[in-house]
Every structure is written in C-alpha cells, then in structure tokens.
Structure 1
C-alpha cells in the first residue's frame, strides 16, 4: 500500500511540472503534460528504470539520499518533502528542526492558559517555552543553569524535582518509556547522544530503566506534584502535537480537583505580586537512586 501511494504521489508531482520549471527545453510533440520519467531520473541522478519502478509502486525501498535527490528534482516544498519521506519509509528523515520558531509563536497561548502550567517541549524533553505557572510549578526552573533545564534530566538529578514527584519508581518508569518512544521517532537527531550519555552517567536509576527498553505512547497520566510554593498538586498532563512541527509537543497540566485549582490560582497570584522566590542559589544536583 505504501509503495503504491508513493508511486501515485511521484506521478502527481511530476505531472505538475513543465520542462521550463526545471530548466529543460520544452520542444514540440510532447505526449505528457508534465515532465517525463526519464527527465526526473536525470535531474535526480538515478537510474531511469529504477525511477520507473518507484512510480509503478514496486517494493524497491529508496534510501534517504535518493528521496532527497528526487524531492529536489521535483521542486517539493518542505511539507511535500516530509510527505515523500513518510511514504518512502523514512518518517524522521526530514522533520523540521526549527523548534524555537514554533515555540516563540506559542508563547501568547501558553501565557493565556495560566494558572494552568503549560510548556512546549522537544522529543528529548527540553522546554522551549513555558508560562510562569510552569516555571514555578516545583521550584524555579530559571534558577538552574541553562544547560540543566531539561525536564528528563531534572527528574533524575535535581533534589526538588525528585522529591516533587510521588510514586517515584512508577512515575520515572513511565517517563523513560515515553522518552524511548520519542527517541525511536527521531533516533538520528544529534541532540539525543549528549542527553542520554549524561543521564546514564549521572543516574543509575535512569540507566537501569533505559536498559529495560520499555516503550509507551500512552496519553498523559495523573501526576502528583509537590510544589515548594503552594504544596501538593494533582494534575492531568495533557499532551498535544503541533501540526507544523509534529515533533514539538505542548503539555498542559490540568487540575484534577478543586484544591489543585485553588492552589494553582494562588501560585498565579503570588507570581503576579512578585511573591515567589526568584532565581536563588542553585542546589547541588544529585542522582536519583
């Protein structure tokens, strides 16, 4: 099915182009409305017969490099390229990497969700943008060195984040299973290696859970969090994907009960009054065990 869809997509994109669009002479007597297969093959520097097999829907399994060359030959847009790679069996080959641009456009939305904590994160749990309620949900995220502000890293190394999550083993096993699932979606991304290496080295618990190779894409679960500012919170973590960059996720912490709602409102009031602790002396990190 995927091979047939790939062939149909290539034919449709080829028919859309004229020789002039790609710098080729038109000439008379053409029996096709767009480019010929042979012309696409030449532009992409692939064999004509092999490209024909692709359009015929044969199971020839094109490589990332070949698909990139065909995408260039067909003048595909970024969205069209992503679709081509998906049909070709390489869903993570050309995912958009401008996480910061997406996050910047979402800041107003995040702020409007107050008093509910909300954050935009990468697949490796790096917060790109967040509202004030998320910043102070446990302690003060911005009191930490910028290099340490990764939610997965803090879960396993920072005393307040470790103490701030009840059901320690179960909570952290679920986090690692989701992290491993996201890793599988973008395993070639160079951002993974330094994070995973650091976590393995500094947290025996992470190393043990990662080696279990559990994978989960289950929706958000109920989390019980201990805030240094307003006490215990019970929230439902709701995760949403961003269409223009599906690897970017928005996580909103919705209160499960009235007490949590009131405490989040109190946190928002304290933030507005400047009555929460600002950046303070950074506590020494220690690994979770």
Structure 2
C-alpha cells in the first residue's frame, strides 16, 4: 500500500469537486476549493477522523467496500477507480456489472434530482447510491452495512420496508422482485452474488421460496407504485427506470403528477423528510 500516493490522490480528487457536484448545499464560506474532508466522510459513511488519516498518509488499509465508497463519493472514472485500488494493493473489480461502481455522469444526474426520490441500483437490487429524497421515502441506505443494502432482501426480511407498501399491493411487489431476480440469474448464471442472494432468501422466506418455484420471469420496468409513508401518508408515484446497459445499472426515479394529492405529499416529504435527515446527521 502506497500511503503517500494514496493521500495525494485523495486530496486532488476531493479539491476538484464542489458541493453542488455531489448534491450538497454550499454551506459556510469556503477558504479553499473543493469538498471538505468531513463532507467526503459523510458521503462514504466513514468517520471524519478515518478519512483525515488517509489524507495524512497514516491511515489503515481501506477495505474493498471502503474503496468502492470512496470511488463513488469522489466521482471517479473507471480508470481512476482502478488506480485507487492499485494504490492500496488491491486488484480492481473486473466484472463491471457487479462492481458497485457508478459512473460519474450517472451520479451527476442523481445529484440534480433534488426534489424527487431517485436512486441507482444494479440489476439484482443492490442500492449503489441514493439522493436525500429517496432516503426520506424509504430509509437511508448509507447507514446500513455494505452487505445489507439490497432492496429485494429488505423487502422479504425487513418488516419496516414491507410496511411502506400498502397491504393490497404487497403480493404484486413480491412477485415483481422475484421475477426480476429470475431473469438476472438466467442471464448471468456464473455471477455468484445474485445466486447467493437467491439461496439466502429461499432459506429465509417461505414466501420467496414459493414465488421462486413459480418460475415467473420479468425484467423491472417503469410502472406506477404506491408507498404508505408513516409521516406523509399514501403516495402514488410514477416509477421511471432508466437503464445503463454497460454496467447493468438502473436509475430509478419516483415522481408525482402536479396537481395531485401525491404531489402535495411529496412536497411535504421534501420538507419534513430532509429536516429529519439533517437532524440525524
């Protein structure tokens, strides 16, 4: 691990970004260009002290999960992400479809969607990035360990996630999740990650196991979805799914039609939900 070069690379990548580039407010007046260290730490889910030690060339060796988080927070290109891994003495992920690296351009679009819930997921349900509105709608995924950020796993094992869906819609949601996972596993039978998720959920959920045996297949596409939020109530949202085929990633955007009750409630969520996130931050 080359701590000196790693520290220099992190500093240069941090100073070339502005808060607006990563979806943050401008904050207090800045004496130097770029993001602050505490902002990078916030975006990656690490402590400020941990990140500071990395920039001072005295930190511990980051894990692969932490390197992936840093690459995402600093909006690194694929080549820059690989360089980051090499500096730490790690082999970069070679399977782009499951590496968890989100292209900077896709993150830029996500950051601009400040008033509607949006997130980037891979094709088997791993949430790779989300904006604050998505966190306000369905929970802050960055607060979860790297292995607990899968939306399909959450739907079948987390009662809080299940309660966000009206009871009369839950069966259809479950069928959609399983049918999509079927399609992914058939397309990439040698990819260990989705196969492991299927094995885990077949053992953990009788509902999942029964749906899996039904052998329905359907790729997730745009649709209308309803959410039963504990604060703002029922939301009927247009769910648009934009595909990035090169990386098997999807940008999922939820919006409400202007003039509807759901639109007004989404506006309320933007105020109340974001205040709650700020208070917890």
Q: TM-score range by the shorter chain?
A: 0.5 to 0.7
Report the RMSD for the aligned CA atoms in angstroms: 2.6
Question: Which blocks of at least 5 consecutive residues in structure 2 are unaligned?
Answer: 1-93
Contact 1:234 1:256 in 2 (8 A): no
Task: Report how far residue 254 of structure 1 moved.
Answer: 2.0
Contact 2:237 2:254 in 1 (8 A): yes
Residue 149 (structure 1) shift: 1.6
1:243/1:150 CA distance change after superposition, 3 Å: closer
- Quick check: 2:136–2:277 contact (8 Å CA) kept in 1? no
Q: Which residue of the partner structure matches residue 193 of structure 1?
A: 195
Structural mapping, 1:43-122, within 5 Å: 96-97=96-97, 99-122=99-122
Q: Deviations over 1:83-136 (max 9, x none)?
A: xxxxxxxxxxx9634643334542231121122111111121001111111112
Q: Tell me which of the two structures has the higher relative contact order, counting C-alpha pairs closer than 8 angstroms and 6 or more residues apart.
A: 1
Equivalent in the alignment of 1:164: 164
Deviation by residue 1:145-193 (Cα, 9 ceiling, x = unmatched)? 4422210001111111111112111221122112211222222111112
Residue in structure 1 matched with residue 186 of structure 2 by the alignment: 184
Structure 2 match to 1:241: 243
Is the Cα–Cα contact under 8 Å of residues 240 and 253 in structure 2 kept in the other structure? yes
The structure with more helix, counted as a fraction of residues: 2
Deviation at 1:240, TM superposition (A): 1.1
Matches for 1:206-225 after TM superposition, within 5 Å: 206-217=208-219, 219-225=221-227
Q: 1:98 to 1:137 in 2, by over 3 A?
A: same
Of the structure 1 ranges 213-222 and 194-203, higher mean CA displacement relative to structure 2 is found in 213-222
Displacement, 1:256? 4.5
Q: Paired residue for 2:253?
A: 252
Corresponding residue for residue 36 of structure 1: none
Aligned equivalents of 2:278, 2:163: Cα separation in 1: 19
Q: Give ranges in structure 1 of 5+ residues lacking alignment.
A: 1-93, 280-289
Larger radius of gyration: 1
The structure-2 alpha-carbon separation of the partners of 1:204 and 1:255, relative to structure 1 and needing over 3 Å to count, comes to same
Structure 2 length as normaliser, TM-score?
A: 0.59
